[in-house]
Amino acid sequence: MSSTMTDELKATLDSARKSWIGSANDAQCDFPIQNLPFGVFSSDRAGDPGSANARVGVAIGDLVADLAVLHEAGLLRLPVNARQDVFARPALNDFIALGRDAWRSVRVQLSSLFARETATLRDDTALRERAFVKLADARLHLPVQIPGYTDFYSSKEHATNVGSMFRDPKNALLPNWSEMPIGYNGRASSVVVSGTPVRRPNGQLKLPDQERPVFGACRKLDIELETGFVVGRGNALGEPIACEDAEDHIFGMVLLNDWSARDIQQWEYVPLGPFNAKTFATTISPWVVTLDALEPFRVAQPAQEPQPLEYLRHEGHHAFDVALEVRLRPEGAQEATTIARTNFRHMYWSMAQQLAHHTVAGCNTRVGDLMGSGTISGPTPDSFGSLLELTWNAKHPLELKSGGTRGFIEDGDELALAGWCQGDGYRVGFGTCVGKILPALK
């Protein structure tokens, strides 16, 4: 448990705490009172003035709590000197910019307000009616306006698998990989929220039997199972973030699907890295699970050999035990097939190390910046985080429960990532991160 947490904040994590919102107490619910993830939502509920406007909410059980309403009703206080309209905004950035003390204070207040024994909201039927929307009725938006998106490459198993397939199995891991969290700049404009359809990209494909590339629809469309973290406090240009301080700069985490066009990627990526193979879409889950909610699930990261250079060292535990799954459901199928099961704890480089490395040369970061983990592959063939690895470049297609097989993604397929931390009798979940594939433009 982080030493910077107050007793009040620790109490929000008490596994015995229950809510008067019954659905939140279900052991399988992603959003128990211990979670309280932040997002942005709108709803078209009749008679709710302004309800179509996107605003800040917190998921609890099968409901979304409208923080703008709770704040207006005087049940949720912000620091007196702070902007008071941060919950009525269409992105979390202004709220996040208030700083960690404010996030933590809001978390403590909400945990108390939703606790079984607290009557204030529980017994106020009229306010409750206005302050909640059913999750199923809410439209969920991109939770943050993302000024910058960076994607890392921090799973040793993933880097080894890809290196084996595309370079040399004998020297699959490049020498720089073990020395730094390799990362690259992603495209922020095309980060979309879960549920947004994804169009199969067109691009240049270099077919083995032809001298020149052809233009056409991607034939090797893939997912990358990732998590992402949202920067909660930026740094100025030229002022690096120390590894020991890096977690103080992190607001929370999301699931992230780094859609990848493998054939476009293989032809374009030398020497400047992936571009059109990735920039057509990146999907994130709508709820940002705060680092505070993840505290009980902190674990040791894998041993690092060689010992990292000093700027990449931190004491204590900086990995998190987040179970992850990928499910594929073909168009019209009733049943999805779980095609991969892995865990975020396998990541070689921590989020703190990623952020320290990102800024060590002087790069500035900003509130709302999104940093992807890189594909999270585990040690076994059923724990790989991409179809490329799961099917070994379509050599070993996957059998689907609904019939048929998959080497790569087909049109109409719906891919869903899911993730959760398993507590004692509850789980702190991320919800899902879903995208369905539309056919390429003709």
Which residues within the stretch 309-328 sit at the binding site for a copy of itself (CB under 8 A)?
A: 309-311
Alpha-carbon span 20 to 23, nearest angstrom: 9
The reply on whether position 261 binds a copy of itself by CB under 8 A is yes
Among 313, 366, 401, 436, binds a copy of itself (CB under 8 A): 366
Secondary structure letter of residue 35 according to DSSP? T
Tell me if 375 is assigned to a ligand binding site: yes
Q: Rg for the chain (alpha carbons), in Å?
A: 22
State the Cα angle at 435 between 429 and 441, rounded to 5°. Answer: 165
Tell me if 224 is assigned to a ligand binding site: yes
Query: 108 or 363, CB closer to a copy of itself?
Result: 363
247 class by beta-carbon count within 10 Å (0-12 exposed, 13-18 middle, 19+ buried): buried
Considering the candidates 71, 158, 249, 314, report the single residue annotated as catalytic: 158
Which residues within the stretch 240-259 sit at the binding site for a copy of itself (CB under 8 A)?
A: 240
Among 15, 120, 185, 338, binds a copy of itself (CB under 8 A): 185
Nearest to 221 by CA among 200, 239, 193: 200
With a CB cutoff of 8 Å and minimum separation 6, the contacts of 42 are 51, 52, 53, 54, 55, 138, 139, 141
Element containing residue 337 per DSSP (H, E): strand 337-343
The reply on whether position 270 binds a copy of itself by CB under 8 A is yes
Count residues binding a copy of itself (CB under 8 A): 64
Query: 275 or 392, CB closer to a copy of itself?
Result: 275
Evaluated on CA atoms 19, 324, 137, 110, the torsion sign reads positive
Q: Six-digit token pair at 9?
A: 């904040």
Tell me if 278 is assigned to a ligand binding site: yes
Contact 404, 330 (CB under 8 A): yes
Tell me if 248 is assigned to a ligand binding site: no
Tell me if 365 is assigned to a ligand binding site: no
426 class by beta-carbon count within 10 Å (0-12 exposed, 13-18 middle, 19+ buried): buried
Contact 428, 14 (CB under 8 A): no
Question: Is 357 marked active-site?
Answer: no
Secondary structure letter of residue 16 according to DSSP? T
Nearest to 57 by CA among 122, 115, 133: 133
The reply on whether position 46 binds a copy of itself by CB under 8 A is no
Of 171-179, 323-331, 393-401, 405-413, the window that binds a copy of itself (rule: CB under 8 A) is: 171-179
The reply on whether position 213 binds a copy of itself by CB under 8 A is yes
Query: 269 or 392, CB closer to a copy of itself?
Result: 269
Query: 122 or 199, CB closer to a copy of itself?
Result: 199
| Positions in the binding site for a copy of itself (CB under 8 A) | 147-148, 153, 167, 174, 176, 179-180, 182-190, 192, 199, 201-204, 206, 212-215, 218, 237-238, 240, 261, 264, 267-277, 279-281, 306, 309-311, 357-358, 360-366, 369, 438, 441
Feature table: binding site for Mg(2+): 258, 278, 282
Residues belonging to the active site: 158
Feature table: binding site: 151, 153, 167, 224, 226, 258, 265, 269, 278, 282, 375
